[in-house]
Amino acid sequence: MSLRPSYRLGLIPALLALFGAVSCSKAGGSSSYDNMEGLILNEICPSSALGKEGWIELYNSSSRTIKLNGLAIRLSTDEFSDEEVAVLDAGEIAPAEYHVISTEHVTFSRIFLREKFKAIAICDAGGYTIDRFSLSFNLSKPGYPVDGGSYSRIPDAGQTWTISGVATRGAANKEGGAPGGGSQGGGTPGGGDTPGDGNTTVVTGGNKIALWVPQSATASINLDNIAKLGIGHILLHEWAYKNYGTAKVSALVTKAHSLGIKVHIWLQCFWWNDDTKWRSPVIDATGSSPAKYNQALFDDVIGRAKNYMDLDIDGIHFDYVRFPGTAYKHNFSNGITGIGAITEFCRQASVALRAKNLKIILSAAVMGESDSAYYYGQDTEKMCQYIDIIMPMAYISSYGYTASGNVNVANWFANHCNGKQCWHGIATYDKSEKALSASQILSDCSNIAKNSKAQGIALFRYGIGTLPDLSGLYSK
């Protein structure tokens, strides 16, 4: 089986270009990586009209002065996506101080216009994402501020973004004034707004470290070593049954349970390896036929999951439970939407699978990037009415996050999982798909475990990279 970037996140560069999610990842290292750690976007005020000034306020949350030469700004709007629009050649910012980048003093190659604004990111000289903001990712209700207002962190350097009616350029942010603003985003949410018919399993205590295991490892996986390294869950691809048979997989499950390891069957939902085609969870309106959810597709995937429920497994893991970046194209006036389709699938899966086993653990891999609801239909708060654990695939190898940037992403998902759990996805290889050492993987895992709100971690994948001893993380 291919590495995840090859068959999943390898699609990201194309999707970013087409659909406007912001990423500053580039191959290679970054000489300024350490110098810019701690720099964040604090307030954003796009131009209210052509020819009007727009600006970005930076804040230094570190304890040292940060030099800004080489800092790049990347912008996404209705008309283009993830485009480098400006690079600073000078400047510095002292600890706990502000620095404003204005279109009147820095040349922007693209118009920074309020009504077309979607997302913005700052990157260091090596192309690594330091921080980013997007309407869909950072605001519960995307829109734009009235004249004199801005997008602001409240308080400064905090986790919460809001639309403020009063901009505070170069000074402490404050709430106040009418937020105002028109709306943008993914249309009517639809589907599964009211919880109640899809119960969830509360995953409390015990080990919260998972490992994606491809079917090709079924015959050779070393469960004894995995247990010694403190990994408590394996996500085993369902093709293990297809290629190795029920008897061999059942023996593996029995051995795993004897070592205290839970086994989840990993299902690909709307994209399959066999013919590399996407199946749309929405059947679009045509002529006099209204749009509707693809019930046949839902039944097929849920039926596959039900086939494993009598085999003493502990969980079902849904992968590719999303659109390929086109969810916003499937919103219709009768209430059928891209977000609604993903939510409705999760609801139906929860009802059907928990009818067979109330204790089954349902998890889902979600795109670890901004605009996930708008582009992929993955509104994690809605999904987590029915899903117990979300696993954001916010791999440093794919997105080029700094350590603090990856923590910020982990915190966002932890804050948007409807009270359920977020187990942060961590890759076991670098940008060139070269296996990482045990110390490198441990560093990434420890960073998330010690500095973020994520309740667990999920490693992708077994067979690449040297797994470290993780027994001290998330073990209680």
Supply the CATH number for residue 61's domain: 2.60.40
**Contact criterion met (CB below 8 Å) for 51 and 82:** no
Of 465, 410, 402, 462, give the one whose Cα is nearest residue 32: 402
CA-CA-CA-CA torsion sign (433, 27, 379, 173): positive
Report which of 106, 113, 65, 103 is spatially closest to residue 87, judged by C-alpha positions. 106
Boundary-marking domain end, from 109, 134, 164: 164
Q: Residue 90 and residue 242: Cα distance in Å, rounded?
A: 59
Indicate whether 357 and 445 sit together in one domain.
yes
Residue 23: closest CA among 56, 72, 69, 70: 72
Return d(Cα 12, Cα 55) in angstroms, integer. 28
CA distance linking residue 414 with residue 423, whole number of Å: 8
User: What spatial distance separates the first Cα and last Cα of the chain, rounded to whole Å?
Assistant: 33
Q: Indicate if 268 and 396 belong to the same structural domain.
A: yes
Q: Is residue 24 part of a domain?
A: yes
Question: 237 and 316 in one domain?
Answer: yes
Q: Same domain, yes or no, for 283 and 417?
A: yes
Number of H helices, E strands in the chain: 14, 21
DSSP state of 369: S
End-of-domain residue from the set 140, 164, 188: 164
284 and 422 housed in the same domain: yes
Q: Which residue has the tokens 């039944």?
A: 299
Can you give the CATH number for the domain in which 247 is found? 3.20.20.80
Same domain, yes or no: 243 and 326: yes
Whole-number Å distance between alpha carbons of 209 and 205: 12
Q: How many separate domains does the chain show?
A: 2
| DSSP β-bridge partners for residue 56 | 44, 101
* C-beta separation of 428 from 398 below 8 A: no
Cα separation, 390 vs 377, whole angstroms: 14
Residues 215 and 279 in one domain: yes
- Determine, yes or no, domain membership for 171: no
pLDDT at position 430 is: 92
pLDDT per residue, tens digit, the chain (476 aa), is 334 332 333 333 333 333 333 445 433 334 434 478 889 999 999 998 888 889 999 999 988 999 999 999 999 988 888 899 999 988 899 999 999 999 988 999 998 898 889 889 999 887 778 888 988 778 866 677 888 889 999 888 887 888 888 889 998 887 655 455 554 433 222 222 223 334 466 665 578 999 999 999 999 999 999 999 999 999 999 999 999 999 999 999 999 999 999 999 999 999 987 667 899 999 999 999 999 999 999 999 999 999 998 889 999 999 999 999 999 999 999 999 999 999 999 999 998 999 889 889 999 999 998 678 999 999 999 999 999 999 999 998 888 888 999 999 999 999 999 889 999 999 999 988 899 999 999 999 999 999 999 999 999 999 999 999 999 887 54
In a domain, 79, yes or no: yes
Q: Are residues 125 and 66 in the same domain?
A: yes
Q: Is residue 29 part of a domain?
A: yes
Interatomic CA distance for residues 352 and 279, integer angstroms: 21
For residue 46, being part of any structural domain is answered with yes
Does residue 221 share a domain with residue 125? no
Asked whether the beta carbons of 281 and 294 are under 8 A apart, the reply is: yes
pLDDT at residue 134, as a whole number: 85
Q: Is residue 21 part of a domain?
A: yes
User: Is 280 inside any structural domain?
Assistant: yes
Same domain, 155 and 222: no
Give the containing element (helix H, strand E) for 247: helix 246-258
Residue (of 16, 92, 86, 17) closest to 54 by Cα position: 86
Chain centroid to CA 88: 29
Both 295 and 242 in one domain: the answer is yes
Range of the domain at 58: 4-164
In this prediction the pTM is 0.64
pLDDT at residue 100 in the model: 94
Q: Is 140 in the same domain as 256?
A: no
Residue 234 included in any domain: yes
